[in-house]
Structure 1
Amino acid sequence: MEFPRTVLFDLDGTLLDSAPDMLATINAMRESRGRQPMTLAQLRPHVSKGARAMAAAAFPEVDADERESWIPEFLNRYEQELGLHGAPFDGIEAVLGKLESAGTVWGIVTNKPEYLAKRLIPILGWEERCAVLIGGDTLAARKPDPLPLTVAAERLGVAAQSCVYVGDDERDIIAARAAGMPSVVALWGYRLDGDDPAEWGGDVLVRDPDALADPAIWPAIR
């Protein structure tokens, strides 16, 4: 068995446990408004859903339009916390090393704003390793639209069907399916209690990053 020649990853909840950075951001916002801090367990399920979902979880009593006006504050505060508290999930660095040793090219397609993702990649030491980076505002559409995945494949000079996408959220798998890209569901990521990854239509469900070090676990390229 061989590893795929090209792999694309989601970032938050897949490669990176960014929930601690997000928690610091949200709790700074709560403190400035006289609220008690949230716990990591309370915020963690919402992280992959984005800034608006995290703000809704942190301030459910606040009108949605008012919370929307707080998103620039969230992004500004998060930029100050970027990379200070989170880290790659256990096993991720080993997986990336295995892929690279096998000659696999890998990149990142995330819904995080591109400027934040670009700041984060050097902090993680991945700037010379990540072959392509597509952020949530890089293109005219973001996941679950397939456009970011198809453009990432184009930039790597391969067909979408020749890549594998790894993500922890349903919209990752929806985007991959629409792009014709085999997918891996990262079960170690962030999910709400009602989410059922078995219903997302991913090709392979993987319990922890260590499993990806085995080429036999990866979906076959169609």
Structure 2
Amino acid sequence: MTRAVIFDLDGTLIDSAPDIHAAANKVMARHGLAPFTQQEARGFVGHGAGIFIERCLAARNAGDRPGLQAQALSDFLEIYETAFDHTVTYSGVTEALENLIEQGLVLGLCTNKPESPARAVLRHLDLARFFPVIIGGDSLSQRKPDPAPLHAAISASGARDAVFVGDSEVDAETSHRAGIPFALFTEGYRKIPVEELTHRVAFSDFAHLPDITRTILG
């Protein structure tokens, strides 16, 4: 019986906030807009690049400037494609992924990051080898928290049973709507307390994830 663990990417496997912040500020500078602090930029993350840029422009009262949304998004994606100078994996991620593979689990990715930058950063961090299944924010017409991307990732994995691992409100809602058990990584980009998010189990150390998946998947 095939079982799968599907992961979110930003804030779950990798801490990419510094590079997202830097890319956003480069775009802001190109269009004569004030930069953001890293905390501000981090607060805009979670719903994909389009919503991220929309929130950036709205925060600078520039959202209604004709043509700016499309141009700023194009600029951001151009920069973001190779923006991983400051992106790192969270501690213990590689070891946990290796352990899950040894358990015979299929690993997949379900992220709102566009698929091309997602694949690029996975290659850069030597994580691509773990993920035969990758569903990005532009892989389907729907994005998380719509459950369709998570269902697509599970289907592509060939799994009958799966657990979803993520860090945010978006991930918790996606998992809940998909009817899939959710393991919440507490050290990512969530904006509300852990107890306010629907989850099967919460963890702060990836060393615990293999045991968590055994418990959930049996």
TM-score by length of 2: 0.85
Residue 137 (1) aligns with residue 138 (2) = yes
Counterpart position of 2:159: 158
- Deviation by residue 1:131-164 (Cα, 9 ceiling, x = unmatched): 20001111121111111111111111123xx100
Give the drift of 1:86.
0.3
Check 1:118–1:19 CA distance in 2 against 1; reply closer, same or farther (3 A cut): same
Alignment partner for residue 201 of structure 1, among 188, 198, 207? 198
1:219 deviates by 5.2
- Pick from 23, 28, 31: which aligns with 1:30? 28
Q: Secondary structure at the match of 1:106?
A: strand
1:95-143 deviation per Cα after TM superposition (whole angstroms, max 9, x unaligned): 1122122222211011111122222222121232212000111112111
- Aligned partner of residue 108 in structure 1, secondary structure: strand
Contact 2:9–2:109 under 8 Å retained in 1: yes
Identity of aligned residues (%): 34
Q: How does 1:48-197 map to 2 (within 5 A)?
A: 48-51=46-49, 52-53=51-52, 56-57=55-56, 60-66=59-65, 68-69=69-70, 70-81=72-83, 83-159=84-160, 162-192=161-191, 195-197=192-194
Counterpart residue identity of residue 133, structure 1:
I
1:60-117 CA deviation, whole Å, 9 max, x = no partner?
Answer: 1323233523222111121242x22201111211211221222222110111111222
1:218 to partner: Cα distance = 6.0
Letter in 2 for 1:221: L
Shift of 1:35: 5.5
Cα separation, 2, equivalents of 1:191 and 1:199:
11
Q: 1:39 to 1:218 in 2, by over 3 A?
A: farther
CA distance in 1, matches of 2:128, 2:204: 27
Tell me how far apart the structure 2 counterparts of residues 15 and 184 of structure 1 sit (CA, whole Å). 13
Closer/same/farther in 2, CA of residues 36 and 208 from structure 1, 3 Å limit: farther
Distance in 2, matches of 1:45 and 1:16, equals: 16
Distance in 2, Cα, partners of 1:174 & 1:45: 17
Tell me the TM-score normalized by structure 1. Answer: 0.83
Shift in Å at residue 202 of structure 1?
1.2
Deviates more, 1:85-94 or 1:196-205: 196-205
**1:88–1:163 distance in 2 versus 1, CA, 3 Å:** same
Q: 2: CA distance between counterparts of 1:96 and 1:147?
A: 24
**How many residues are treated as equivalent by the alignment?**
213
On the 8 A contact 2:183/2:200 being kept in 1, the answer is yes
